[in-house]
Amino acid sequence: MSQATNQSWGGRFSEPTDAFVERFTASVNFDQRLARQDIQGSIAHATMLARVGVLTDDERDAIITGLSEIKGEIERGEFDWSVPLEDVHMNIEARLTEKIGITGKKLHTGRSRNDQVATDIRLFMRDEIDVIEAELVRLREGMIELADREAETIMPGFTHLQTAQPVTFGHHLLAWQEMLARDHERLLDCRKRVNVMPLGAAALAGTTYPIDRHVTAELLGFERPAENSLDAVSDRDFAIEFTSFASILLMHLSRMSEELVLWTSAQFDFIDLPDRFCTGSSIMPQKKNPDVPELVRGKTGRIYGHLMSLLTLMKSQPLAYNKDNQEDKEPLFDAVDTVRDCLKAFADMVPAIEPKKASMLEAARRGFSTATDLADYLVRKGVAFRDAHEIVGQSVAYGLKTEKDLSEMTLDELKQFSDTIEQDVFEVLTLEGSVAARNHIGGTAPDQVRAAAQRARDSLASMQGAGQ
């Protein structure tokens, strides 16, 4: 260390860093979160250096022992983090040197903080993706089981938030599940690109030491070393890709949240959420507020902001590493935490949803939700579709005037619009008949919902851990 500064790079400088600049440029307050991955990478690096003869076995063992002890200090909350040492890497290296002497200074041979931090972030992201995947799997499992149980529960389907056609609650839940299945695929695909090792790229051009990057990659569980040293230390597209996944996932969870909020309202009264997922009002004692879905809906904008932050961070950077990249960690860390917490909340909450079947059924009876079934009935009887559309429109107008649903009209009332209508029309005008008639793959018929739930289970089983 230079007498002018205690920084790791102080030899070239003639005066200490300004105190404000020291605080402004330091990252240890947030990147200490990478300590476990930093130690993991350093142990692998030291092991590799010993294999190629850069370190002796005794030096390797001293480094690994020291790093393991430091890991314990950090886990117990006994480690003294220093802002003047800038970041997690130098704090750990300084403590290692303090513990084992000059051998600790040899650990950094053949690497730079540039490839070191890039490796730490990828190790961190890989670990967090696996945790997030587990929560996503749990949510999908709970959603599939609830859909299977509610395969026959009739509710109104909507377009433009207006009653359109009857569907089943199970069918609706499986629509959510399909969104999550695609999110799951995106997450696993992202993990493949995260799982590439930058270590060995050094500052930007590689190193003159006889390192073996394949050994280090194997020790750390990476699929392969990064091909290009410039790219390895400078790009953060994997972080952008993760926040893109997170943004799409939260968009889906937000859409689900919006429906849950609507469905718990007195105006819909479709479902009940257990009290443990809701809060009350400080002034209105009757209130039961769906805070969990509301918060998930609100946190979506936060994730979108992190995606824009990382895209903007990278958009003008020349090769190779720039200090700008220190700003990647806080949005990435928060995106990881937010996604994990939102998924946990949903995975706990969704299986506990209690549908109010009578309310759903009554809502499906309103709004002439079987009008399309009547049109299809007429077409099957030989009426041109456009004519059938006109006939049904007249029938609906009559129903609005008389306050009768189509299924509540008599045969004589219906025949005034078309002589083609016969007694068998009531088989398609019932809600049960309407949903049962859509008996094809992707349809809302109860048998199809159960079959789709089983396919979803099978698909989920084949996906779990596929990215690892």
Residue 382: partners with Cβ closer than 8 Å, 6 or more residues away? 420
Helix or strand or coil: residue 77?
Answer: coil
End-to-end CA distance of the chain: 42
Q: Two tokens at 134? A: 């587990």
Annotation says 281 is catalytic: yes
Exposure string (b/e) for 12-46, b if CB count within 10 Å is 16 or more? eeeebbeeeebeeebbbeebbebbbbbbbbbbbbb
Pick the catalytic residue: 184, 214, 281, 462? 281
Q: Which residue in the list 160, 282, 316, 440 is annotated as catalytic?
A: 160
Tokens of 407: 């299924």
Helices (DSSP H) in 56-112: which residue ranges? 57-75, 88-100
Contact 155, 270 (CB under 8 A): yes
Does residue 369 have an active-site annotation? Answer: no
Whole-angstrom Cα distance, residue 449 to residue 169? Answer: 10
Closest residue by Cα to residue 453 from 176, 240, 198: 176
Angle, vertex CA 222, rays to CA 219 and CA 227, nearest 5: 115
Q: Which secondary-structure segment (H or E) carries 222?
A: none
Task: List, by residue number, the catalytic residues.
Answer: 160, 281
